[in-house]
Amino acid sequence: MGKRVYAIGIAACSVLLQIILINASAQAPEDTITKKDTLVTLEKEKDHSLYAGAGFGTNMVYLGTTMSQDRPFGYASIAYGFRDHLYLSATGYTLADFSPFMAFYSLDLSFSHTFNSWFDIGLSLSRYSVAEALRDTLFNNFAYANATLGVDWRILYTQISAGELFSEENYFYLQVRNSRYFETPSFADDKAFFSFDPYINLLLGPIVSVETVEGTKTAISPGYKPWKHHQGSSTTQYTEKFGLIEIDCGLPIDFGYDFFTLEIEPGYVLPLYSDTWPSGMEGFLFLVSAYFRIF
């Protein structure tokens, strides 16, 4: 469902939802504000709920490429939930050394349903919009629709996510995420607990190969980046295929107390394609987030 992982705070993976998924990048901060497992479970399901959150991280990686240009970022989010199944959230992001202050924002609509103790599904639609002055530097506006199927094998929880990115061109992505969630016994009058959700995520999607007189270079083809479809020339030819982009893994650690959750997530991104172009990234990422249930 990550990369996820990101620095510089403002009042705040939208949602991480992702999620894995989370989404996420997994990759951008998933709709973590609506992550049921990391928030204290209500004894009785309520029709309406409202959450607010904020976070910061070292780099924002989404669908195999950096949205924050390898810079620290911060975010602020608010999310409305209906019966713990349908969520609508809005998130604003700020980047280090970039102006305006809110470099881009996202609107997310997600639905999840659990059929039984081992099978669930999820649907989400996200819209990312960037400040006009930064579109040539960061990315073009885009939408991402995602469908997720989750299976609990007791030992592992597997999510298979298929998504379509809509921008100047459409791109298909497939993710397979395996995780193992567990939590400590509650304490402090049964209001507090720690939880852990280590995961490993495999991302498949569009890859572009660039053949030149010097040789062949390969890089992912990020559909939401300022990307022009090249027709090729006598010395350079561009071809596109679907393949493995990266493996990302992480260890979200949550502390929940009543209406408040603090999450720390270290992670690592490993590209699976030839990283001779600067469009990909490899290395450690770090994300810190805080969430509040308003009602």
Pair of tokens at residue 118? 């081992």
Q: Under CATH, which architecture does the 32-203+246-293 domain have? A: Beta Barrel (2.40)
| Domain locations in the chain as residue ranges | 32-203+246-293
> CA 193, CA 209: separation in Å to the nearest integer?
48
Phi, psi dihedral angles at 42 (to 5 degrees):
-75, 140
Outline where 213-294 has alpha helix (H): none
The reply to whether the predicted model has a pTM over 0.75 is: yes
For residue 151, what pLDDT is reported? 97
Strands 170-179 and 215-220: unpaired
Strands 104-114 and 86-95: antiparallel
User: pLDDT, tens digit, for every residue of 271-293?
Assistant: 887 645 544 578 899 999 999 99
The average confidence (pLDDT) of the chain is 82
User: pLDDT, tens digit, for every residue of 129-165?
Assistant: 999 999 988 999 999 999 999 999 999 999 999 999 9
- The phi-psi region of residue 63 (left if phi > 0; otherwise alpha if psi is between -120 and 50; otherwise beta) is left
Tell me how many helices (H) and strands (E) the chain has.
0, 18
Residue in 9, 34, 12, 7 with CA at minimum distance from that of residue 23: 34
Between residues 162 and 241, the one the model is more confident about: 162
For residue 34, what pLDDT is reported? 45
